[in-house]
Amino acid sequence: MIQRPFKQVDVFTAKPYLGNALAVVLDGCGLTDAQMQDFARWTNLSETTFLLPPSPEAAVAGADYQVRIFAPGYEMPFAGHPTLGSCHAWLQAGGEPRNPARVVQQCKAGLVAISRAPNAASPGGQRLAFAAPPLVRRAPTPDAVAALAAALGLQHRQIVAAQHLCNGPQHFGFLVDDAATVLALQPDLAALARLMPQIGMTGVGLAAVADAPSAPGLIGRSNREARAFGSQKAHAQLIEVEEPSVEVRFFFSTGQQITEDPVTGSFNASLAQWLIAEGHAPKTYTAAQGSCVGVEGRVHIAQDAAGQVWVGGDVLTCVDGQVLL
């Protein structure tokens, strides 16, 4: 066991301790899978990451570093807040990307581009955003919708749409009629725990969009839209839309129990790709998540001219030191 550089960061928030915590071991070299999993279990956070040099093949393809992402009970191919949090920690520790405008991260799901856009509202004056991975989605069966809706406490009349979503993790999404519906639900977690493995899901989430779907684009034309910014070399033209217009909640399996996630990057990524493609949401919006668990998560969504969805958020370092591992 040796001393390794370590950070604990808060993701998707500009206010300390009001986002989603992430443990980052900045040097994971020499650790076995079992050692990584044991440490992730010990941190008891939703995810713990370990940074490594990219594989030779990934390095040739442009990767700057490799990340391994572990929940307390299993390894994940991709996750959103670990992507932004790990990138923030790597940059803060002196990491230098090959391209100053972006970072390329290797994970089990492949290579993920992360843009670095100036933003006056963000700590440190810039906001990171990852390119949402390719999404595979399909319509659910009526039985799956009915069973999961009952476990969540949703009435059929409150459901606008539902979809299976997979961008590495397997998720199930509901679009509902109103933000008040999202915030008022009191799900039966035991019922979700029984149902999710049967349906092949690791997480179930729900969202409501203000002024949609009856008025698509309204949010984008309102006074909540702010100026565009970003360099020509950036992979996304991120938009400053700070006021939330989408309310999100997400329930996931830790491998031991079902819990509500403070802020979920991977679900917000797949949710945005689905909702924008179907015309349920504008191409640029800010989602609020975590209201029911005492946090103020903010996820900034923007689809660029090429159709790529970018998922942005602020990151703060709360703990900086060493870990014996």
Which of the residue ranges 22-31, 76-85, 207-216 would you say has the lowest mean pLDDT? 207-216
Q: Are 242 and 286 in contact (CB under 8 A)?
A: yes
Nearest Cα neighbor of 264 from 107, 113, 78 is: 78
What are the backbone angles phi and psi of residue 201, rounded to the nearest 5°? -110, 145
Q: Can 3-132+314-324 and 136-308 be said to share one CATH topology?
A: yes
Residue 238 has a pLDDT of 52
Which of the residue ranges 69-73, 231-235, 268-272 would you say has the lowest mean pLDDT? 231-235
Q: What is the pLDDT of residues 98-134, one digit of tens each?
A: 999 899 999 999 999 999 988 888 888 889 999 999 9
Q: Taking CA 68 as the corner, what is the angle to CA 325 and CA 44, rounded to the nearest 5 degrees?
A: 60
What CATH number does the domain located at 3-132+314-324 have?
3.10.310.10
Could you give the 3-state DSSP secondary structure of residue 1? coil
Give the integer Cα–Cα distance in Å for 273 and 83. 18
Residues in the chain: 325
Q: Are 297 and 192 in contact (CB under 8 A)?
A: no
Buried b (16+ CB within 10 A) or exposed e, 59-76: beeebbbbbbbbbbeeeb
**DSSP E strands: which ranges in 77-132?**
102-107, 110-118, 126-131
The kind and range of the H/E element at 136 are: strand 136-138
Please determine, for residue 223, whether its predicted confidence score (pLDDT) is greater than 80.
Answer: no
Dig out the tokens for 289 from the structure.
């998540």
- Chain-centre distance of CA 226, in angstroms? 23
The kind and range of the H/E element at 90 are: helix 80-92
What are the residue ranges of helices labelled H in 131-264? 142-152, 179-184, 189-199, 218-221
Task: Say which amino acid occupies 262.
Answer: P
Dig out the tokens for 34 from the structure.
């079992």
Please determine, for residue 246, whether its predicted confidence score (pLDDT) is greater than 50.
Answer: yes
| Cα Rg, the chain, nearest whole Å | 19
Q: What residue segments make up the domains of the chain, in order of their start? A: 3-132+314-324, 136-308
Highest mean pLDDT among 17-31, 226-240, 256-270: 17-31
- The CATH architecture assigned to 136-308 reads Roll (3.10)
Give the integer Cα–Cα distance in Å for 284 and 20. 22
Report helix angle 80-92 to 265-277, nearest 10.
120
- Chain-centre distance of CA 118, in angstroms? 20
Give the integer Cα–Cα distance in Å for 236 and 238. 6
Residue 123, exposed/middle/buried by CB under 10 A (0-12, 13-18, 19+)? middle
Q: What is the pLDDT of residues 158-178, one digit of tens each?
A: 999 999 999 989 999 999 999
Give the integer Cα–Cα distance in Å for 323 and 325. 6
- The mean predicted confidence, pLDDT, of the chain is 90
